[in-house]
Structure 1
Amino acid sequence: MAMPLSAQEVVASTGVSPSAPAADVLPSADDGSIFNRKNARTIQLKIPAPRGPIIDREGYPLAQNRVVYQLALQYEQFEVEERERVVAWGRARVEAAKLLHEGVSEPDDDTLYQHYRHRRWLPLYLSSPMAAEEAEKIRPQLTRGLELIDVYERYYPEKDLACHIIGYTGQVGKLPTGPISPNEPMWEMSEGRAGFEKIYDQDLQGDPAHLRLIFDENGKMLLREQKGQPRAGGAVVSTINLRWQKRAEAVLDEYSKRGAMVVIDVVTGEVLVMASNPGFDLNQWIPGISQKEYDVLREDPAKPLYARAFQGTYPPASSFKPIVALAALNDQVITKDTTVNCPAFLTYGNHKLWNWSRSDYGALSVIPAIKWSNNPWFAQVGNRVGSGSFLGLARRLGFGTITGLPLLGEDAGLIPTPEYVRKTYRRPITEGDAANWSIGQGAVLATPLQVAQGMAAIGNGGALPKLHLVMQVQDSYGRVIRTAQPERRHWLGIDYNAIENVREGMRQVVDGGTGRGAGLSWTEVCGKTGTGQWGPESKKQGVAWFAGFLPADEPRLAFACLYEGRPGQKVSGGRNAAPMVPAFFNSFKDEIKEMIAPAPKALLVVEEGAEAEGISEEGVLRAIPVEPLETIEELPDDADVPKALPVEDLDLIEGEDGP
């Protein structure tokens, strides 16, 4: 007794139009009155609507629906309703179904009998969902009392792609087993349980239709009338580029079995890529994941359920150093030409802070200090400018607070405050603390998403863009009901010359510095390596970074690549993270070159003979440069201090940033 979902299917299955009088074809529905015939029934059911799709920025599906089939037992109306006969009849059909499909459940005798007593007009689902191909093979072998019921099912065509962002659905509840209630669903309905599926559940849920069924006392259908059509839910259009996301996850799989990559459009704030490796197949949750399957994922030491891109907090290590340099230049503690003596190590208390190369570099200014990622230079300059200054700038760059993207479980990271240090260590901030924080170690923690966001702000010239992960939400008719527009989250108030000097240092990181492995032949990359200690001291686990933006002159794309080292593995940003950059960006060379190409110059159109600047006597049009409009007004800094998260200690460590 397949339940049709459209008026055309109703006509095909019953031979009567839903709007036509049933008496013209079938016996009178009045014969099914429940007042004079105990086995007659009038049933009203809800036809669940399909969920709306989740798609990428180019329209490719990330989550959609498909029609699947389930084997079901359909009882007949017995003249003699003895329990033994009812159970035996049902049991024989269950055994026949088990021969047709391996995913058939085996209801107990009481379930079979109670279904007949209360729900024999409706099918009793026996099997797990199967694809149309398998259903077609089974259909000719169906015996009396067995049917194939078509239902909607959520489907993730890209399996584990962007799994931590998309999320998954779960069943609202099992179908009722007692007497039939008005408007109960024809099959199990679903709801969002994680990611976009949960956050945008109301937008993705559609509007159901209703089906009215009338049976006479012999179990014969007198009327089948559908009211309305199920209306699918709206669509959520992500900013994610599926092609780029695929490549990013492939690069992570090749270069970093455990890591993350984020790519952001500097101009619009759109997140084009947010990949965490490893992930998991979202289809495991459809129609439901078993406890055994879930335990395998939960207990996996690689933590596939853990979204490293936005839930993983790591010391940003030397990728944090451009912030210290920016603060020092902006506060005029140093100039472009100020030199600082850089020995092989500095001593703070009982600790030595070594340069990664363990070499004496002599007198260095800011640009070569960034190029060679010199720890002693940043430790000294960090103390000169003061931790309050560079940590305050870090907060304006988005560190220490969530981005505000529609993400479940996003971690805020940690930017320490004097209150945090007093509460945690019962002492004030020391020079050793400031030195350690200046090289992105100790209590400073950030997610790859935050690091990429900070690079976007440096890249676009001093404004922290508001990030977007959803371009628009559409209703079921395709009308846009919500859309994202480029916005500024914070105006940094940084001197542009300071930004230019830091950019130059980051350009030289790739051009002969510690990040040579990140270079591209077709455009200049600005970047920063980073290598730090992460996790418990007992594990001695390292983390490697390469973060930056491109092109160097007019940045359009910001990014962060994270390599999570194995316990005991020696890692470096130049060796482990930097090679991910060409591995990813070279795959989209032509596309990105078009994206970053300078805008064409505007043409001023005038009538021939008009006298105006840029117009020749012959009336030939000339290109006239159009100056950019200065529309950005400075806003006050955000002085809110985020709640600090605990860390193990503030001990100084040795960083390694070499190639």
Structure 2
Amino acid sequence: MSDLPRNRDVEGTGGSEGYLNSPDGEWFNRRLKGTMILIFIAFSVILVRLFYLQIINGQVYRELSTNNRIRLQSLPPSRGLIYDSQGNLLVDNRPAFDLIIVPRDAQPVSETLERLSQFTGIPVEEMAGKIAKKGGDNSSRQVVLKRDIGRDALAPVEVNSFDLPGVVVKVRPKRFYLNPGMAAHLLGYLGEINARELSSGKHPEASGGDFIGKFGIEKVMEPLLRGSQGGRQVEVDARGRVIRELKRVEADPGKNIYLTVNTELQKRSEALLKGDVGAVVALDPRNGAVLAMASSPTFDQNDFVSGLSYAKWNALKNNPGRPMENKATQALYPPASIYKIVSSIAALEEKVVDEKTHFFCSGTHAFGDRVYRCWKRTGHGSINLEDSIAQSCDVYFYEVGEKLGVDRLAFYARGCGLGKPTGVELDNERAGLIPTAEWKRRKLNEGWHSGETLSLSIGQSYNLVTPIQMAMLIASVGNGGVIYKPYILGKMETADGALVKQTLPVVNGRLPASKKTLALVRKGLWGTVNDRKGTAKVAAIEGVTVAGKTGTAQVISKAKRDSRTKKSIRKFRDHAWFVAYAPVENPTIAVAVIVEHGEGGSTKAAPIARKVIETYLGKGEAARD
């Protein structure tokens, strides 16, 4: 058997060495070396990558890992409260529960939304749309699905929180106005911050979804009412749920504000205006403090905080009474016969008349080819300045205007605080308009006609004023000539009651009138209410001496009004004015009332002013109430 060729051939190959030296062995050897090289390269790549991840970039990935379980959450400050002058709370905060989702923690998002919809009733499509706008399903940003969900929706969400990964309920303080609609134009309201406001740099601590003051005191005092945000560092699990709190910095609450407004007087003023379009402004003539500021019609500020529906916003925007306009500071009206106070001061100071000067009023005054009429068709007869104020004789002031001219009238009007903002702490206060000959050339490219001055002298023509300007004018006459800057903020305190600021009266100037001039004008204003021929006897109060002035501002000329409407269409009727101060001996309240299309100042505006004064002084009807 040993001589078999097969065995000899095997032995001749030299065993495994012979195989490796054979052509087949060489091929196998090359394949093995190639494989080893590939394995070496692969391991080298892995080692290099591990070196890069763990050594070179290790700190970065450690931080990312930490951030996946440690997060920072903001703590909103409690907004400052607002009180009236008596310490009655007007604006408060209450807890609101916002439904929030972090999409990255809520995987799979579609299933989480389905469950959430079952518990809350919020449509899946609505929630998915909000997530899509904020970065999609993989976003790590918090997305507010619904604000102020209420306790009925809150309970099932909290009970089923384990089945709702990435879903949290965040508690935040929500603004609440205790007397909805009361002082809405003065207090203002909050609204969600928009992109323009975010980029303005005026709200450095605010972020998308925050609420800020949009109107009134809420807007003007925003930096003080808002406070400063706090924050906390928390550890979360894979589902985004908080495991424990690591660190906390408490929020700094906003400052509490005490206004000069008297709530009883504010409510009374608004009740007296109900059903009409207009404004009431009541001031303390001794310092300029705003006692009441009513604008009608009004609106409910809580609607804005809760999220105003499209239908409600359209209703407000299209309301012909313009409820979103603060008529006390933003609406412009011809001053009508209230302006005769200015004309009287100008005439006396420029010595074109004195207390003995009489003009004859026959009911008309001819100038050029036109006849100017007095409100009293039969005329007032021979009349002096004092009686012309009390009886509001137009012809007397046509004579005054003719002698003064437009520019001298304008000088005294501006000196009385007209044609410029009063400076009250509310945004968008309008300046009004006091025309001059140069203004007309520049604005209308026309020269001034002398006849226009006659209309100007009784408060018509291009004259435009705000109710707060009229209130300041009558307050300045009542206090002896001091023009104060009106103010609403009485004092400011920290949340724990420490005084931050106490407002002190600011003098803006003095009326351009001597004591003798003011004494004569005040006599005329006394006669308006107390003389048997005065135009506002209805404003008299038993036990209190009131002085004032009526005004009837034309919307269109009498000729046009009578021919077009026969006085039947309200929008063509005159506006009713009345201004007053009381008590005459030492005034503590000054009031301006405007009722749009109220026709007569004596019949519509004066009774409102009388009741406002009665309420403040505790007299008449107010005392019986």
Give the TM-score, by structure 2 length. 0.78
- How many percent of aligned residue pairs carry the same amino acid? 28
From the superposition, tell whether residues 373 and 105 of structure 1 become closer, same or farther in structure 2 (CA, over 3 Å). farther
**Which amino acid in the other structure matches residue 486 of structure 1?**
P
Given the alignment, which residue of 542, 545, 548 partners 2:577? Answer: 545
Q: 2: CA distance between counterparts of 1:585 and 1:399? A: 24
Alignment of 1:501 onto 2:520: yes
Structure 1 runs, 4 residues or longer, greater than 6 Å off? 35-39, 73-78, 102-105, 112-116, 135-141, 183-187, 535-538
Alignment of 1:249 onto 2:270: yes
Given the alignment, which residue of 348, 356, 373 partners 2:367? Answer: 348
Deviations 1:245-304 (A, max 9, x none): 1111111115xx101011111111111111110111111211433444322211111111
Residue correspondence of structure 1 range 35-54 to structure 2 within 5 A: 40-54=68-82
Higher Cα radius of gyration: 2
**Which amino acid in the other structure matches residue 347 of structure 1?**
A
Deviations 1:330-352 (A, max 9, x none): 33322222211111111233432
Contact 1:76/1:145 (8 A) holds in 2: no
Given the alignment, which residue of 315, 320, 327 partners 1:296? Answer: 315
Deviations 1:405-445 (A, max 9, x none): 12222111111112013334555444312211111000111
Contact 2:386/2:520 (8 A) holds in 1: yes
Please report how far the alpha carbon of residue 375 of structure 1 lies from its aligned counterpart in structure 2 after TM superposition: 0.6
From the superposition, tell whether residues 562 and 39 of structure 1 become closer, same or farther in structure 2 (CA, over 3 Å). closer
Alignment of 1:168 onto 2:170: no
How many residues are matched? 537
**Which amino acid in the other structure matches residue 564 of structure 1?**
E
From the superposition, tell whether residues 105 and 483 of structure 1 become closer, same or farther in structure 2 (CA, over 3 Å). farther
Helix, strand or coil for the counterpart of 1:305? coil
Contact 1:104/1:126 (8 A) holds in 2: no
Given the alignment, which residue of 210, 213, 216 partners 1:195? Answer: 216
Q: 2: CA distance between counterparts of 1:376 and 1:97? A: 72
Q: 2: CA distance between counterparts of 1:37 and 1:448? A: 64
Please report how far the alpha carbon of residue 553 of structure 1 lies from its aligned counterpart in structure 2 after TM superposition: 2.1
Partner of 1:96: 119
Q: Which runs of 5+ in 1 are unaligned?
A: 1-32, 175-182, 594-659
**Which amino acid in the other structure matches residue 243 of structure 1?**
E
Helix, strand or coil for the counterpart of 1:534? coil
Please report how far the alpha carbon of residue 224 of structure 1 lies from its aligned counterpart in structure 2 after TM superposition: 1.5
Q: 1: CA distance between counterparts of 2:205 and 2:438? A: 56
Contact 1:348/1:431 (8 A) holds in 2: no
Please report how far the alpha carbon of residue 503 of structure 1 lies from its aligned counterpart in structure 2 after TM superposition: 1.2
Given the alignment, which residue of 175, 180, 201 partners 1:154? Answer: 175
Helix, strand or coil for the counterpart of 1:401? coil
> Which protein has the bigger helix share?
2
Partner of 1:462: 481
From the superposition, tell whether residues 226 and 327 of structure 1 become closer, same or farther in structure 2 (CA, over 3 Å). same
55-64 vs 444-453, greater mean Cα deviation:
55-64
Please report how far the alpha carbon of residue 527 of structure 1 lies from its aligned counterpart in structure 2 after TM superposition: 0.7
Contact 1:545/1:563 (8 A) holds in 2: yes
From the superposition, tell whether residues 128 and 361 of structure 1 become closer, same or farther in structure 2 (CA, over 3 Å). same
Partner of 1:647: none
Partner of 1:223: 244
Alignment of 1:313 onto 2:332: yes
Partner of 1:589: 617
Please report how far the alpha carbon of residue 471 of structure 1 lies from its aligned counterpart in structure 2 after TM superposition: 1.9
Helix, strand or coil for the counterpart of 2:334? coil
Contact 1:93/1:145 (8 A) holds in 2: no
Please report how far the alpha carbon of residue 459 of structure 1 lies from its aligned counterpart in structure 2 after TM superposition: 0.7
Q: 1: CA distance between counterparts of 2:66 and 2:510? A: 75
Q: 1: CA distance between counterparts of 2:255 and 2:205? A: 23
Helix, strand or coil for the counterpart of 1:575? helix
Alignment of 1:407 onto 2:426: yes
285-294 vs 422-431, greater mean Cα deviation:
422-431
**Which amino acid in the other structure matches residue 107 of structure 1?**
M
Q: 2: CA distance between counterparts of 1:468 and 1:592? A: 28
Helix, strand or coil for the counterpart of 1:309? coil
Alignment of 1:575 onto 2:603: yes
**Which amino acid in the other structure matches residue 75 of structure 2?**
I
Q: 2: CA distance between counterparts of 1:548 and 1:36? A: 71
Alignment of 1:65 onto 2:93: yes
Please report how far the alpha carbon of residue 462 of structure 1 lies from its aligned counterpart in structure 2 after TM superposition: 1.6
Q: 1: CA distance between counterparts of 2:487 and 2:205? A: 38
RMSD across aligned C-alpha pairs, in angstroms?
3.4
Helix, strand or coil for the counterpart of 2:581? strand
Given the alignment, which residue of 396, 399, 409 partners 1:390? Answer: 409
Contact 2:76/2:172 (8 A) holds in 1: no
Q: 2: CA distance between counterparts of 1:324 and 1:70? A: 59
Partner of 1:12: none
Alignment of 1:449 onto 2:468: yes
Q: 2: CA distance between counterparts of 1:184 and 1:488? A: 35
Deviations 1:27-64 (A, max 9, x none): xxxxxx96796995211111111221233222233333
Deviations 1:152-190 (A, max 9, x none): 11222222222222222222369xxxxxxxx99999422
Please report how far the alpha carbon of residue 389 of structure 1 lies from its aligned counterpart in structure 2 after TM superposition: 3.3
Deviations 1:186-216 (A, max 9, x none): 9942222222222222111212221112234
66-75 vs 510-519, greater mean Cα deviation:
66-75
Q: 1: CA distance between counterparts of 2:339 and 2:205? A: 57
Contact 1:45/1:186 (8 A) holds in 2: no
Alignment of 1:522 onto 2:543: yes
Q: 2: CA distance between counterparts of 1:190 and 1:577? A: 38
Partner of 1:333: 352
Given the alignment, which residue of 285, 291, 305 partners 1:266? Answer: 285
Please report how far the alpha carbon of residue 589 of structure 1 lies from its aligned counterpart in structure 2 after TM superposition: 3.2
Q: 2: CA distance between counterparts of 1:336 and 1:531? A: 25
From the superposition, tell whether residues 136 and 586 of structure 1 become closer, same or farther in structure 2 (CA, over 3 Å). farther
Helix, strand or coil for the counterpart of 2:398? helix
Please report how far the alpha carbon of residue 68 of structure 1 lies from its aligned counterpart in structure 2 after TM superposition: 1.8
Deviations 1:99-121 (A, max 9, x none): xxx799832289499876444xx
Q: Which runs of 5+ in 2 are unaligned?
A: 1-60, 196-203, 562-570
Helix, strand or coil for the counterpart of 2:574? strand
Deviations 1:134-161 (A, max 9, x none): 5687689767546654221122222222
Alignment of 1:129 onto 2:129: no
**Which amino acid in the other structure matches residue 551 of structure 1?**
P
From the superposition, tell whether residues 266 and 108 of structure 1 become closer, same or farther in structure 2 (CA, over 3 Å). same
Alignment of 1:204 onto 2:225: yes
From the superposition, tell whether residues 274 and 40 of structure 1 become closer, same or farther in structure 2 (CA, over 3 Å). closer
Contact 2:492/2:502 (8 A) holds in 1: yes
Contact 2:205/2:228 (8 A) holds in 1: no
Contact 2:130/2:143 (8 A) holds in 1: no
Given the alignment, which residue of 117, 127, 140 partners 1:107? Answer: 127
From the superposition, tell whether residues 44 and 327 of structure 1 become closer, same or farther in structure 2 (CA, over 3 Å). same
Q: 1: CA distance between counterparts of 2:72 and 2:472? A: 53
Partner of 1:4: none
From the superposition, tell whether residues 427 and 94 of structure 1 become closer, same or farther in structure 2 (CA, over 3 Å). closer
Q: 2: CA distance between counterparts of 1:386 and 1:392? A: 10
Q: 2: CA distance between counterparts of 1:36 and 1:578? A: 72
From the superposition, tell whether residues 110 and 298 of structure 1 become closer, same or farther in structure 2 (CA, over 3 Å). closer
Partner of 1:564: 596
Please report how far the alpha carbon of residue 450 of structure 1 lies from its aligned counterpart in structure 2 after TM superposition: 0.5
Contact 1:171/1:287 (8 A) holds in 2: no
Q: 1: CA distance between counterparts of 2:105 and 2:572? A: 71
Contact 2:386/2:521 (8 A) holds in 1: yes
Q: 2: CA distance between counterparts of 1:515 and 1:105? A: 64
